[in-house]
Amino acid sequence: MQRYDTRGFDLEARLADREDTGLRRDLAPVDSVGASARTAVDPKGEPPAFGDEKLVFAANNYLGLAGDDRLAAAAADTASAVGTGAGASRLVVGDTPAHRSLERRLAAEKSAERALVFSSGYAANVGTLTALSPDRIFSDELNHASIIDGARLSGADIEVYDHCDAAALEACMRDCADEAAADESWLVVTDSVFSMDGDVAPLADICDAADTYGAWVMVDEAHATGVYDGGIVGQRGLEDRVDVQLGTLSKALGAQGGFVAGDEPLVEYLLNAARSFVFSTGLAPPAAAAAERGLALAPQQRKPLWSNVDRLRSGLEALGYEVWGDTHILPVVVGDRGDALALADRLEDAGIVAPAIRPPTVPEGTSRIRLAPQATHTAADIDRCLAAFEVAGTEVGLL
């Protein structure tokens, strides 16, 4: 089979062009500039009123770190030392030691040369895709909205392939190769863990297809960061085959923000060309410190998380529910949207927060309750959730 080895991205040449035109920037000049904090009164008036406490099984706080005192302490220490906000774009005066320390930790976590922190995972996806500006993007049909939006904004020709189907991807690339110029830049983009189905992309097979046609691979590890050692990319030893690794700090790591990890030219180019980085105030330093602490604590949180996942999945299946996926995300598939809404209402009456997911978020006939157990749930919490599902399912007529 003919190979196409010229579909990559010559980022060093792009950086050289910026150097020649005086447009290349870096973060070094602002290393010594301190941030300042600003405070304001709450404009909302009276504090909200809350009802009885409920058990939340719908959050992305997989490792239970969002309310961890150790993250709060790290954030407080950094707020005291550096400030509560970056104060400006990091390319102006918004760069702080907290950002640099987190980026070094993320690069090590992802076995990459360098990492770059954005204000959110959404900003990381949109900024990266538009900055790379590929000629053609191959996108899994169930990719996150931030990938879809970034792909559209990039101006690329977009090819959507069947969900988690590397053979379909390869066939799509083969068809496109017949009509495409040999020097087109191609980018394959996929989530690693899909948040609604709880399944995992076949990354090795995707990399094989991309290699055949000289394409780059970009993987969004939003729902895998922290939960797996090095993410799915790292777990499967694909760091050298995935060109762009993304993730979020606001799910399992319990903080806020997003990041990109990769080789030096990639990160250097993005900090110059990703508009959602260049023209956005830097991530709040306390959030950066909290995320770094979350990374350090993640390994010890994984065992209790997976214990809760196994307990909840086996209990639901024993009750007769259909549970999709093979990750820490447990989609309990009901089918009919009305039944899913009724089930969610009865679960909430029992003190379990797990809203129904229904079309257009998921396809018709696959309405579901998306469960996400946390490392900090106790065995009693899991049993309470199972008991609620048993009673609610019987009342709705699902069991």
Strand pairing report for 136-140 and 356-357: unpaired
Verify whether residue 163 is a known catalytic residue: no
Active-site residue, selected from the candidate residues 99, 110, 223, 328: 223
Residue 48 tokens read as 């909200």
What is the C-alpha separation between 205 and 197, in angstroms, rounded? 20
CA distances from 62 to 170, 193, 224, 229, 384 (A): 33, 13, 10, 14, 18
Verify whether residue 251 is a known catalytic residue: yes
Question: DSSP letters of 186-202?
Answer: EEEEEESB-TTT--B--
Specify the residue for token string 């579909």: 7
Strand pairing report for 186-191 and 114-118: unpaired
Is the CB of residue 194 less than 8 Å from the CB of residue 201? yes
Active-site residue, selected from the candidate residues 119, 139, 185, 195: 195
For the purposes of burial, counting CB atoms within 10 Å of the CB of 175, is it exposed (0-12), middle (13-18) or buried (19 or more)? exposed
What is the C-alpha separation between 123 and 120, in angstroms, rounded? 5
What is the C-alpha separation between 27 and 88, in angstroms, rounded? 13
Active-site residue, selected from the candidate residues 99, 110, 144, 251: 251
The answer to whether the peptide bond before residue 360 is cis (omega within 30 degrees of 0) is yes
Q: What are phi and psi of 389, to 5 degrees?
A: -65, -35
Verify whether residue 195 is a known catalytic residue: yes
Residues marked active site are found at 195, 223, 251
